[in-house]
Structure 1
Amino acid sequence: MKVQDLTDALLEYIPDADVDIILNAYIYSAKAHRGQSRRSGEAYISHPLEVANNLVKLKLDATTVAAGLLHDTIEDTLSTPEEIKELFGEEIFQLVDGVTKISQIHFSSHEESQAENYRKMIFAMAQDIRVVLIKLADRAHNMQTLESLSEERQRRIARETLEIYAPIANRLGIGWMKTELENGSFRYLYPEEYRTIEEKVAKGKEYRDQYVEKVTSRLVKELGEAEIPGKVAGRPKQFFSIYRKMMDQNISFEDVYDLVGVRVLTESLRDCYSVLGLVHSLWKPIPGKFKDYIAMPKPNMYQSLHTTVIGPRGEKVEVQIRSKEMHKVCEGGIAAHWRYKNKEDDNEKSMDQQLLWVRHLLENQKDLKNPKEFLHAFKVNLFPDAVYVFTPGGDVIALPHNATPVDFAFQVHTDVGYRCQSAKVNGKMVPLRYKLRDGDQVEIITSKDVSPSRDWLAFVKTPKARSRISNYINAEERARSLSLGKELLEQEIREYGLDPAVEMAGEVFEEAAQACGFNSTDSLLTGIGIGKLSTYHVIEKLIPKEKLEGKEPRDKTLIKLKESQQPESSRNAIKVQCFNENILIRIGKCCHPLPGEPIIGYITRGRGVTVHHIDCPSVGNVINDSERLVGVEWDTGMETIYQAHIAIVAGDKPGIMATISQAFAECGINITRANIQQGSHKRAYFDLSIEIHDVEHLNQILEKIRQVDGVIYLERIKDFNKNAPIKDRLEALGEKLVQQGKQELSIT
């Protein structure tokens, strides 16, 4: 690389660039670094030249390129800050000084120093993004010369690059630099995996090149005939991208279908969609494999159309389509906006949008006094919704924000997830719902005697973990429901004095299943097991009427419960995990849970799911029958009405009934049932049913009633039974209150 090459390249995109400042910076840097050499043996000046060349690739201005040539002078030579400022001006000095400060940052494992170093990085980015662009250019060249360093330093620099600088390049939208940094890091962090992928890619190169040529030739021909301007080229998948896909999807190298792809660069936004239509007319698109990043750009402003199709040989091929302007941004990212920021308002707005996350973090960093909080905030912004944790062997695993050890286990391997018994984080045992943090080292303890729990679905974050758990539980649940449904139907048939082996055989049983709306007898039995329909309904379709004459069925449960049994609001406002949305749901009469209270479901034979308060005594009675317990949750997005039952003890004085009724009216509460009786010791007993939205709403009402003069005690009756004599219970309570001389209110 020669300085003349830099100035020539610069003048191509900035014809009136001040090349003198670059020549002067080169001469000064060469003198300052005279006698110095790199560990590779090259003269040190070769490094500033390569850094400046990377900045030219980003098409940055002359000032930035000059600062790139000078970036190591303050740190590694006898040059002083004053001298740089005097010779090259304030702007270049600030850039060089900013890069020097970043270069002095060592991302140690100690939380406080690490947090402070991240703060410095964020501050530099917010002050002038060009400082970080120069540092990225510096790191990109350093990664190309790591072979001359010790293995320990290679791994340290590579890990720092993979965890910090490559993500920053990605967040700023600099695609080519992100790729270089990732592949360089991959080579030194995972040398065996790198060599394996390198060998396999080389082995199939000839075949893939022929295939890409076939695809691109056809596209070029069709674009010409359709008079759509476009440049077509092959796009080989990078080694680290292949490795990450293998890890993320738990697949082998042979299963990575997009080892090569095709990129089409066209002229306009309209042309992009025209090309998309042409591609889909040539080859069949794969459902779910189309992404429109033009309409919905990535956070780093990346825009492109991605589609995967079945190509000419029946093999999958990914096609990326974008305009030439979009491609400039895809490769140059924020640098593409920077060079036009003084010329076009739209580009300045785009750049401001890209840096918004940096500025927000800088503004909020004063409130993040805890180092852990700041590290978390930094990583969340740098890797949106992602955390990076380590395996015991030191491998990095990327997971979404708030991911748990269970997510980690499934990310390592599906079988590890299935057999996950417990977890250690940083050497200490933690609950499986523990939220992992950046830098955590996670160890999963497995056992062949455990299997996925439905409870895991309440806290896992990764799509992979959620889908694997759901699939496992659904398979188990279908098997249990099928067995339960078969048992229930057989019992019902025996109630009629008939033989299940006879009645549940042959085409008649299959026809009955279809008549009930199921495509198979197994589906029918599963439906009975989960409470989707009653055994009586099936028998009506299965057994001729003459066989049933004179016989009474044991179970006449209807498919749809009456409104008096189950208000529609309660059916729709509760979600049952891993079950069809049509499953019957009943609120337990033993506890009458309200939205906002913890609940659990219990599969009732032939009657769907009954929802109980988690502390309901009925749940304690069936806790050992865990196979029939199911996870349920309130649908908080629905506005619903529920019945709550309360009992009030008040002084029996004139107007007390009107006063209490007025308090309810002021709250806008509808009293649906009232039973008021006079008791001993001049007490009045109120047994009321009211309409409320949730438990918080109820608590607000109870607090209001508490203020009523004369109210001594009130209680929510969870195990309400309209036929039970609540007065007796309140009479006993009244006696106790009198004995204790108690007049104040208690709320339970």
Structure 2
Amino acid sequence: MFTIDDLSDRLDGYLTVDEIAQVRRAFYYAEQAHDGQHRRSGEPYVTHPLAVANILANMHMDYQSLMAAMLHDVIEDTGITKEALSRQFGEEVAELVDGVSKLTQITFEDKAVAQAENFQKMVLAMSRDIRVIIVKLADRLHNMRTLGALRPDKKRRIARETLEIYSRIAGRLGINTIRVELEDLSFQAIHPMRAERIQRAVVKARGNRRSMVRHVQSTLQTTLEGDELPGAVMGRQKHLLSIYRKMRDQRKPFNELMDVFGFRIVTDRVDTCYRILGAVHNLYKPVPGRFKDYIAIPKANGYQSLHTTLFGPNGIPIEVQIRTREMEAMANNGIAAHWLYKAGQTDRPIAMGSHARAREWVRGLLEMQRHAGNSLEFIEHVKNDLFPDDAYVFTPKGDIMELPRGATAIDFAYAVHTDIGNSCIACRIDRHLAPLSSRLESGQTVEIITAPGAQPNLAWLSFTITAKARSAVRHALKHQQRNDSVALGRRLLNQALSSFGLTLETLAQNHIDALLAALSLNALDDLLEEIGLGSRVAYSVARRLADSEPEEIQAHGDDQQGAMAISGARNMVLSFARCCYPLPGDTIVGNLSAGRGIVVHRSECGNLEDCREDPEKCFPLQWSETVEDDFPVGLRLEIETRRGLVAELASLINDAEANIERINIEERDERLSIVHLTLSVRNRVHLARIIKRMRNLTYVGRVSRTGS
């Protein structure tokens, strides 16, 4: 069994004597705190934190991270507090331990909420110290290695959580060794039989291919030596989940996937990488379109390498990765390479750059967390954000932006800055105007056009894919809805108060404050928002504010106030009913719908029968004198069936300066057809002019407006 002495011997290679003593002290403290506790396997519990510390030692993490690994379950599973740890080991170690610990003191509704809340807590701790997530990944890795003692259903639940979140975080931070092992262990827990069959097939195929691998490896090494290029050639092994996913997604049998030979060449300098690339292309013919330069344009997690695919002996595909030793360390350890090199007292820009990128990513997570409505929405954004980046586009100044495949100009705008996204109105792609929904491709130059006062559109959510853009749009729409709701609530309340000869401006502030306290609201805007959204009735609120007797209310109620005027501008709390299609010129009423605000209907609409007599739900409206919008309206036409019918109607409607939104034709019999049209018109007069033109056509019978 691995002991603290074994760990100390390993740490002797890169930590000082005093630092190793601190790690040992943390181990003995944890051993005493967990005394009497055992894991499901029957081992003493302290073997788990010791194993976690050993994983971190492989990555050359600093002594405080190792101490936090030893103590990471102390707060959660024993009676020891964060304050006690802080007194014993310092504030920094206590903060690391607290960041990794779960929220055990709070009871959650279900597992999903608990998972989301705990992850949200960890992200906040990561923002203060990125080492929190590295300790957590090591903790999760050892838990996955020892899943055998758990029930099958619990194994699958933990494995899915690992696959959805922790393996992706490891990939996002570039810690490839942990990512690969987490993925394979999760795959084995979720699909044990599939994993076992693929594992057996891999071992068998490896034996059959051994001579071919040796031949190619020897040929590549000889070529490098012949050209006096320093570099070590090694075989590259595919992991189980990667093989399974390719078999499933590409619908390829196992043999086809294993016919691709993978090699990695590790050298000393960047310029040597490109010289080696020329040498291997001279040795074997490259496959067109299969070269990727991740050295010039690194992946989001800092990964750098040259990738090329070659036609090898007998036409067998050979995949070759070429990188420096630093890049190899980065590919395996990612952000942890920052501490790996720090331990060697060497300043390495590649490792420092990875650390900076990780901090930038965590800052992005914090912004998403602030915008998200709750922890479940936040964790959904995080899952979306953890997919690999594929598209590399340029700003007008030549800076490179990394975006997921399928990202649009809106995603790009928010990637530049949230304010740019919120105020964008158009874009240029390669200096040509393009829709904001345009999908971006690598190599394009994107310029965003903004305008002061512009606001995000609800339709953007249908084509944005990045988590930052989606959370920012939702946040802006919520803010926009609040502003619209408050403005509408103010108008409704003032209209209701006018029955009592009052306005909000003339009311005594103490009356308003007393009502807010009674309703458990913090500010007047909160009350106005609820009125605008239809959650509270303006007339009831006005009555309480006026503090009037019932008979006085009735007397004032006879004196009907003027109807509220509306323009054609739709917003988050004002919409127009699709059942009766109201137009400027129609007599209209408003229906207050909870959560939607005011829905405008024609006064004769049949859908208002149940609430027409309720003044708190249904009230008169009038059109503003400055309506300039277009409105949909439904028409029903009885027409003699004839060829070219749709073309003639479209021409007539176009000549009348209207647009067809929808058309549907049903045949009544051989001679008669019924045409259902939805048009966009300016007002009732405009519609009357169109109907008059239709009735002048000899083959058109009855024309009627639908919805009443």
Q: Which residue of 1 aligns with 2:97?
A: 96
- 1:318–1:87 Cα change, 3 Å: same
Residue 367 (structure 2) pairs with residue 367 (structure 1): no
TM-score by length of 2: 0.54
Matched residues in 2 for 1:311 and 1:275: separation? 16
Q: Which residue of 2 aligns with 1:64?
A: 65
Q: Tell me the number of residue pairs that the alignment of Structure 1 and Structure 2 aligns.
A: 431
Shift of 1:259: 5.8
Deviates most, 96-105 or 247-256 = 96-105
Q: Deviations over 1:171-227 (max 9, x none)?
A: 111000001101001001011211110121122121222222111111111111111
Matching residue's letter, 1:326? M
Contact 2:164 2:383 in 1 (8 A): no
- 1:234–1:340 Cα change, 3 Å: closer
Say which of 350, 358, 361 aligns to 1:357. Answer: 361
Residue 381 (structure 2) pairs with residue 377 (structure 1): yes
Shift of 1:254: 1.7
Matched residues in 2 for 1:48 and 1:114: separation? 21
Matched residues in 1 for 2:264 and 2:200: separation? 25
Q: Deviations over 1:315-367 (max 9, x none)?
A: 11211111110111111111112555797594445422223232123134233
Contact 1:591 1:718 in 2 (8 A): no
Shift of 1:136: 0.8
Q: Which residue of 2 aligns with 1:161?
A: 162
Q: Secondary structure at the match of 2:223?
A: helix
TM-score by length of 1: 0.51
Residue 230 (structure 2) pairs with residue 229 (structure 1): yes
Q: Which residue of 2 aligns with 1:682?
A: none
- 1:593–1:367 Cα change, 3 Å: farther
Q: Which residue of 1 aligns with 2:147?
A: 146
- 1:196–1:594 Cα change, 3 Å: farther
- 1:351–1:200 Cα change, 3 Å: same
Contact 1:308 1:316 in 2 (8 A): yes
Give the alignment of 1:612-627 within 5 angstroms: 615=661
Contact 1:309 1:317 in 2 (8 A): yes
Percent of residue pairs bearing the same amino acid type: 44
RMSD over aligned CA atoms reads 4.1
Matched residues in 1 for 2:366 and 2:372: separation? 10
Q: Which residue of 2 aligns with 1:216?
A: 217
Matched residues in 2 for 1:156 and 1:187: separation? 13
Shift of 1:109: 6.4
Matched residues in 2 for 1:401 and 1:102: separation? 37
Matched residues in 2 for 1:352 and 1:57: separation? 22
Matched residues in 2 for 1:380 and 1:40: separation? 35
Q: Deviations over 1:205-257 (max 9, x none)?
A: 21222222111111111111111111111111001110111122122212214
Q: Secondary structure at the match of 1:297?
A: coil
Give the alignment of 1:638-649 within 5 angstroms: none
Give the alignment of 1:324-723 within 5 angstroms: 324-338=325-339, 344=347, 346=349, 347-370=351-374, 373-383=377-387, 591=650, 615=661
Matched residues in 2 for 1:155 and 1:729: separation? 68
Matched residues in 2 for 1:302 and 1:340: separation? 16
Matching residue's letter, 2:331? C
Q: Which residue of 1 aligns with 2:242?
A: 241
Q: Secondary structure at the match of 1:265?
A: strand
Q: Which residue of 1 aligns with 2:537?
A: none
Q: Deviations over 1:35-74 (max 9, x none)?
A: 4332223333322221111111222111111211222223
- 1:305–1:74 Cα change, 3 Å: same
Q: Which residue of 1 aligns with 2:305?
A: 304
Matched residues in 2 for 1:141 and 1:106: separation? 26
Contact 2:167 2:183 in 1 (8 A): yes
Contact 1:17 1:61 in 2 (8 A): no
Matching residue's letter, 2:371? D
Contact 1:74 1:80 in 2 (8 A): yes
Residue 32 (structure 2) pairs with residue 31 (structure 1): yes
Greater C-alpha Rg: 1
- 1:20–1:287 Cα change, 3 Å: same
Q: Secondary structure at the match of 1:233?
A: strand
Contact 1:162 1:181 in 2 (8 A): yes
- 1:19–1:250 Cα change, 3 Å: same
Matched residues in 2 for 1:104 and 1:52: separation? 26
- 1:345–1:309 Cα change, 3 Å: closer
Matched residues in 2 for 1:137 and 1:245: separation? 27
Q: Which residue of 1 aligns with 2:617?
A: none
Higher relative contact order (CA 8 A, sep 6+): 2
Matched residues in 1 for 2:106 and 2:269: separation? 43
Q: Which residue of 2 aligns with 1:538?
A: none
Q: Which residue of 2 aligns with 1:182?
A: 183
Contact 1:338 1:351 in 2 (8 A): no
Shift of 1:616: 7.7
Q: Deviations over 1:511-565 (max 9, x none)?
A: xxxxxxxxxxxxxxxxxxxxxxxxxxxxxxxxxxxxxxxxxxxxxxxxxxxxxxx
Q: Deviations over 1:650-695 (max 9, x none)?
A: xxxxxxxxxxxxxxxxxxxxxxxxxxxxxxxxxxxxxxxxxxxxx9
Q: Secondary structure at the match of 1:307?
A: strand
Q: Which residue of 2 aligns with 1:45?
A: 46
Q: Which residue of 1 aligns with 2:276?
A: 275
Matched residues in 2 for 1:371 and 1:35: separation? 35
Q: Secondary structure at the match of 1:383?
A: coil
Q: Secondary structure at the match of 1:321?
A: strand
Matched residues in 2 for 1:291 and 1:593: separation? 56
- 1:78–1:400 Cα change, 3 Å: same
Matched residues in 2 for 1:118 and 1:80: separation? 20
Q: Secondary structure at the match of 1:289?
A: coil
Matching residue's letter, 1:361? L
